[in-house]
Amino acid sequence: MSLNPNISSQLKDKYDRIDQDLDAHLEGLLHSKPINYWDYINTDALLNLQTQRTVFPDEMVFIMYHQVNELLFKMVLTEIDQIGHSSTISIPVFTDKIMRISRYFDVLTSSFSIMKDGMDVNQYNQFRTTLTPASGFQSAQYRKIEFASTELINLIDKRFRDNVDKNICCEEAFEQLYWQAAGKDYKTGKKTYTLSDFESRYKDEFLRFSKFYQTNNLWSKFKTLPKAAQKDKKLIKAMRHYDYTVNVKWVMAHYNTANHYLNINGKTAEATGGSEWVKYMHPKYQKRIFFPELWTSKEIENWGRNI
Ligand code: HEM
């Protein structure tokens, strides 16, 4: 079989452009191994990333499910990144991307029962003691999804939101983000180790990331669409679906799971991250909403109450 002349001329152009000798690269093909599934997907590395701290079998489920979540978070961020970095975006592409992101969160929501049903409550309450002071609260990708979805004002603690500048940004916003509440000792206001550790690892990265997304988040991009496009029913439906799935359905699946393990016989146990979790986690208190302008005041008032 001879090499297609069109391909060989494109190859020559490609390597000429980077001052490389095409023949040397072609010779390399003689010695390279054909690709296979396990090398391409990196299954060996992937399946060796689970390190238990105890001997309880359900701890393995707990670790792996968190890893599955982190992979899906990465898929969500990959989609948002494409919207954030696009200079123009059409309504069908925007709608398509939002629906795709929503589907990832639908998977996260419907699968959360893996954490609740079938996992042994006793095993959980024993292995979780070895995880203190770590908490899912320290998931950097989850925080990035929030920064990339909406303006910072919508992530400010509900108690201060009405009294801060709508365009608040970066360092100033950081200390008032809703999740600071979970990372402070609710009796003394002092930052917990869980929060300080998280900040020393990620704060600089979060500030860089949120600065870019302050004007390139999903809501800002939506607002750059022509006025008529902003009324597109399919797009609005997709945006509302995403908002509700992340901020009510996922949050409630999570909250119900925490309740299942940490609220035993009406007695509330302390979470590994040390938050006042019953109040902190429920959507009706925080009223975290990515796209408040797409909801009526009645819907906002009842946020998280009808589920
Ligand atoms: C048995 C399963 C789980 C329980 C009992 C649980 C419990 C909790 C609790 C009580 C908090 C509040 C912070 C604290 O004091 O630690 C929290 C926060 C958090 N957890 Fe989980 N969690 C579970 C599974 C997961 C999974 C699978 C994920 C996915 C990555 C996750 C992600 C998060 C996130 C992102 C936060 C912060 C939420 C926010 O700031 O609103 N959790 N979790």
- Residue 186 — very low, low, confident or very high, per pLDDT cuts 50/70/90? low
Average pLDDT on 72-101 reads 96
What is the CB < 6 Å shell around ligand 1?
65-66, 69, 115, 124, 135-137, 139, 142, 179, 182, 254, 257-258, 261-262, 271-275, 277, 280-281
Closest residue to atom 21 of ligand 1, CA basis: 136
pTM of the model: 0.94
pLDDT in tens, 88-137: 999 999 999 999 999 999 999 999 999 999 899 999 999 999 999 999 99
pLDDT in tens, 246-276: 999 999 999 999 999 998 888 888 888 878 8
| pLDDT value for 18 | 97
Does pLDDT of 43 surpass 80? yes
List, in order of start, the domains of the chain with CATH numbers.
41-301 (1.20.58)
Cis ω before 133 (30° cut-off from 0): yes
In terms of phi and psi (left: phi > 0; alpha: psi -120 to 50; beta: otherwise), the region of 304 is: left
CA of 2 to the centre of ligand 1 (A): 58
**Residue 244's closest CA among 290, 293, 177?**
290
pLDDT in tens, 187-206: 788 999 999 999 999 999 99
| pLDDT value for 264 | 80
DSSP 137: G
Q: Dihedral sign, CA of 121, 123, 124, 126?
A: positive
